[in-house]
Structures are given as structure tokens and as C-alpha cells.
Amino acid sequence: MKQIKQYENEKVLVLGLAKSGFSAAKLLNDLGALVTVNDGKPFEENPEAQGLLEQGVRVITGHHPIELLDEDFSLMVKNPGIPYDNPLVAKAKEVNIPILTEVELAYQVAECPIVGITGTNGKTTTTTMIGLLLNQERTAGSARLAGNIGFPASEVAAKASVDDDIVMELSSFQLMGIETFKPQIAVITNIYEGHLDYHKTRENYVAAKWAIQENMTSDDYLVLNWNSEELQEMSTQTKAQVVPFSTKEKLESGAYSYDGSLYYMDEKIMEAAELGVPGAHNIENALAAIAVAKLKGVSNEGIRFALSKFHGVPHRTQYVGTINGRKFYNDSKATNSLATEMALSGFDNDQLILLAGGLDRGNGFDELIPSLEGVKAIILFGETKDKLAETAERAGIRTIIMTSNVETAVPLAYEQSEDGDSILLSPANASWDQYPSFEIRGDKFMQAVKQLEK
């Protein structure tokens, strides 16, 4: 990593730990900063804080004392999940303390190029695809996944060599805390509506996503979903070279699908049916990944091989297994209607049993009706099961079954299925009414599937 000097003897406050805060604090400490960590979790329940204290970092846990900001900090590094109306963050803004997220630190110390991926849906799958493609035919270094995908960006950047690439998934929360961050290649998978409880308005949310290209120059590449008229319009506002991808039209430049095949420029890369993951949304993800791979010099043969062997990432239309002719898929990551719509596009509804439901955020599900039409049966659970039942009735689904949770939904779905059917968990809701995370909800689904084998 670059041995930068700008933080030597500078007082830095790291607000919020978890993986990214821990990594940021450790990196800043290694760079010679005078680091104070403040985290709300009590010290005795906080292994990250305990570990940092052992390394000589000052830690304050269990509360967020506003008087901390009387200590003349030169910088705050904020956990991305902490909103800007948090009292400590708001006070820091008021007294003009710069507020960054750890992806900015990662960029400052990285010795290798960064490929940054953001968007409303498809970020993790696209990031994983790009990582696989950039590791094909490689003779030096490796493509390292980082960021919102679960590997702290600052930790990965500190370990990466000049021969590597960092393939970084970036949330809108992370992108709000950048100053100089500049990827060599940036990807925006799509922009819909998300996290309005954090961003307050859609305009704020879109601005946060668009920040990925803020510091890019004419030497850099911005890969954009050309299916979006909004992104087409926004493409005129960047200095980067725009590389489009589309499933709706043939393009003179960029990546596109046509007549069942995937192309880059005028080169046919592969048949869409060769992709190892189902769904129209995964064709979009693959096109974005193909664009990056071609910009990086990966051969068509390498692209075809990697994408045909890729069978998804956990909890994102993840193939779980087949039992007595029934295929099971875990799409627990579908925490909104749009994600479920995209998942449904990859299945034949007349051979599909859908499991859905979860946290009630006050929204309806009318937008799901066209995608639900023809579904063989739906098994509902969680706070939104009554709302979803009304939606299912309006979509004409004849078999609607209510149950208590994912674990009880699986055997009920199996009872309604026949040889050749698919059983899909795609909840269209967050998990927090019953499960701490979508990952745990997905794990419970997969455990229940395994129980059917006994």
C-alpha cells in the first residue's frame, strides 16, 4: 500500500465499528494517526473495540458523547450506516470537520486500479461476476473483491499489490463519504428508488449513486445501463468515457443482448442460455461484467467459460438443490418488490411456488401483480402476509397459503409442488420482523430444504 503521510499525528475520530470501522481505525493507526474510536455497543460485548484497545487505540463505547467533538479532531471517518442527522455527525458538519467513509481511505492507500460497482439492484452479483472474469487468464496479481460485498475496502487496499485490481461494491451510503475517490472503471447497474428513510428524497439517493463518477476523467470508463432513460440523460454530465449496456437495443459501442446472444461491440460473446444463473436481471448483470472484462482485455473464451460456470452468490437467486424433481432457489436478498419482479422473470410461473413476506414498511405490492400472474401457488409469512395475500388474489393466484415463517413455508411449498416445479424464496420485503438479516432468513430456508431430504 502507499505509505501516505497526511494522517501522521492527526487526531481522527472513527464513529461506528463493525467490519469497516474496525479496518479504518486499524489502517489509520498504522498510518500514524491519533485515533479515537466511538461505538454504541458496550465494551464487554464489543470484540472489535477490545482488539483495537490492545493495539493502543483509544476506544469509547456504550454511548456517543457529544462533547467528544470538543477535542479538535481533524477528521471523522463514519460507518456508512450511520445517518448524517446523527447528533455527532450533525455537530461535526456544523464545526466543519471533514466526514469520510472508509472507501476514501482505501482509495488513498491503494496501489492498484479500482473497479467500482454501484446501483439499486444487482451490485453483488455484478461485482462477483467481474471478479471472476478479471481472474481469468491472469498472469500477475489477482482481482480482489472489496467494499459492500463483505470485505472492508481499506483492509483489501492495504494488502493489494500493484499487479492487482480491486473490484469494489459501493453503496450509496459509502459514496456519500468520498472526496478524491476515483475508480478506473465504474459501473452503475441501475437506479430505482431505495433507502429513502436514509436519503429522505430520491434526488438525494440518485446524487449519492452518481457520485461514483465525480472525480473520473477522460482516461476512465463509466459503464451504464442504457435501458434507463435517466442514466442516458445523466451520461452527458460525466467526463468519463461512457460504455453502455442494454437488453433492449443493439448498440454501436458497449455490450448488448440480441436474438438470444450476448455481444460486445459487434463480437458475439456467448448465448444467453449459457449463463449459469437464470433471469433477465442476470443478463443485465452479465452484460455489465462483460463490458468491464473487455475493457480489461479478457478474451471472449475466458468470459464465456467464467460466466457459464457461475451459479450465483448466496441469497441472490441461489440454486440450493433438487429434491424429487423440485428445484429450490434462495433469493432472500430480494428485500423489495423490484428485486422479486426481477427474480420472477427467470422462471415459468405455471411451474413456480413462491415464498414471500416480511417487514411491513407501509408500502403496497400492486407493482408485483403482472409478475405474479400465473404463479402456481404462493406461501406467505411475516408482517406483510395479509397485504401480499390481497395482491396474490388480484393477480389471480388460486392457491394462497398463510404460515408463520420461512421454516414452515418450505414443507408447505413442497406439498403444493410436482416434479418439474421450482420453489423460490423471494420475499419482496426486509427480514427484520422475524430475522436479524436477509442472510439468516436465507440460511433458515436452506436448512428447511435440507430437512426435506431426511
Specify the pLDDT at position 185. Answer: 98
Is pLDDT at 406 greater than 80 in this prediction? yes
Q: Region 108-127: what's the mean pLDDT?
A: 95
Distance in angstroms (rounded) separating the CA atoms of residues 201 and 209: 13
Specify the pLDDT at position 278. Answer: 79
Question: For residue 359, which of 425, 412, 438, 424 has the smallest C-alpha distance?
Answer: 438
- CATH fold, domain 11-100, is Rossmann fold (3.40.50)
Following CA atoms 43, 98, 187, 229 in sequence, which dihedral angle do they give, to the nearest 10 degrees? 120
HSE-CB of 228 using CA atoms within 13 angstroms? 19
- Strands 261-264, 255-258: pairing is antiparallel
CATH architecture of the domain with residue range 103-309: 3-Layer(aba) Sandwich (3.40)
User: DSSP characters for 397-420?
Assistant: -SEEEE-SSHHHHHHHHHHH--TT
Contact 384, 368 (CB under 8 A): no
DSSP H or E segment with residue 40: none
Q: Tell me the pLDDT tens digit for each residue of 196-226.
A: 667 778 899 999 999 999 999 999 999 999 9
DSSP H or E segment with residue 263: strand 261-264
Q: Region 356-367: what's the mean pLDDT?
A: 94
Could you tell me the CA-to-CA distances from 113 to 142, 162, 230 in Å, in that order?
11, 8, 28
Tell me the three state secondary structure of residue 65.
Answer: coil
Tell me the three state secondary structure of residue 320.
Answer: strand
Is pLDDT at 150 greater than 90 in this prediction? no
Q: Tell me the pLDDT tens digit for each residue of 225-265.
A: 999 999 999 999 999 999 999 999 999 999 999 999 999 99
Distance in angstroms (rounded) separating the CA atoms of residues 441 and 278: 21
Is pLDDT at 338 greater than 90 in this prediction? no
Answering whether pTM is above 0.75, one says yes
Contact 270, 294 (CB under 8 A): no
Specify the pLDDT at position 196. Answer: 66
CATH architecture of the domain with residue range 318-452: Alpha-Beta Complex (3.90)
Three cell numbers, residue 383 = 408482517
Specify the pLDDT at position 407. Answer: 98
Is pLDDT at 352 greater than 90 in this prediction? yes
Q: Domain ranges in the chain?
A: 11-100, 103-309, 318-452
Specify the pLDDT at position 194. Answer: 61
Q: Region 434-453: what's the mean pLDDT?
A: 96
Q: Region 49-65: what's the mean pLDDT?
A: 95
Q: Tell me the pLDDT tens digit for each residue of 154-189.
A: 999 999 999 999 999 999 999 999 999 999 999 999
Distance in angstroms (rounded) separating the CA atoms of residues 10 and 76: 11
Q: Region 66-81: what's the mean pLDDT?
A: 94
Q: Where are the alpha helices (DSSP H) in 296-433?
A: 300-309, 337-344, 369-372, 385-394, 406-416
Specify the pLDDT at position 18. Answer: 87
Q: Tell me the pLDDT tens digit for each residue of 272-327.
A: 999 988 788 899 999 999 999 999 999 999 999 999 999 888 888 888 999 999 99
| Average pLDDT taken over every residue of the chain | 95
Is pLDDT at 195 greater than 70 in this prediction? no
Q: Region 393-416: what's the mean pLDDT?
A: 98
Specify the pLDDT at position 81. Answer: 85
Specify the pLDDT at position 316. Answer: 83
Specify the pLDDT at position 420. Answer: 96
Tell me the three state secondary structure of residue 229.
Answer: helix
